[in-house]
Amino acid sequence: MSETNEPTVGNYQRGLEVMARLWGQEVANDMLMFWRSVHPDIERYITAFALGEVWARPTLDLKTRSLICLASAVVLERADQIRLHTRGALQNGATPAEVAETIIQLMIYAGFPAAWQAMEIANQVIGDRREKTKS
């Protein structure tokens, strides 16, 4: 077994860093606390594997990855995930218009109701962010 086939020891630490860049430090902390309260091993798998391994990969930037994950959340109709990945997209340089286009593009694949409900949720995140930036 070559060492390159082994998960490196620093995955968890890298996961924490990716999380902060992806959603901002405040939301990252909230998510981390939430996942820990749910189950410590689930938190560990999310941080070390999902964030530290998968989200940390090169080739696609965090904005594109967020739009891809938003797309998956729209078609699976997962409200919390639509919220989270909209936030991640905006945090990493997507405009509100690009978030809207991602959702409109999926009308023809996810069904119209899935798209309009996703847009309603995304609008709330976009609105909240605007409020915060103002104040």
Question: Quick check: 130 binds a copy of itself (CB under 8 A)?
Answer: no
**Rounded (10°) CA dihedral 36, 92, 117, 109:** -110
- Structure tokens that stand for 94 in this block: 């997507």
By CB under 8 A, name the one of 25, 30, 33, 38 that touches a copy of itself. Answer: 38
CB 102, CB 121: distance < 8 Å: no
Q: 24 vs 50, which CB is nearer to a copy of itself?
A: 50
Q: How far is the CB of 41 from a copy of itself (least distance, A)?
A: 6
Residues 6+ apart with CB under 8 A from 93: 63
Query: CA-CA distances (angstroms) from residue 14 to 3, 9, 56, 101, 133?
Result: 18, 10, 8, 31, 28
Interface map 88-127 toward a copy of itself (x if CB under 8 A)? -------x-xx-xxx-xxxxxxxxxxxxxx-xx--x----
Q: How far is the CB of 14 from a copy of itself (least distance, A)?
A: 11
Secondary structure class of 94 (helix, strand, coil) = coil
DSSP 92: T
Tell whether residue 29 is a contact of a copy of itself (CB under 8 A): no
Select from 25, 30, 60, 128 the one that contacts a copy of itself (CB under 8 A). Answer: 60
- Write out the residues near a copy of itself by the rule CB under 8 A: 1, 5-7, 9-13, 35, 38-39, 41-42, 44-50, 53-55, 57, 59-60, 64-65, 67-69, 71-78, 80-81, 95, 97-98, 100-102, 104-117, 119-120, 123
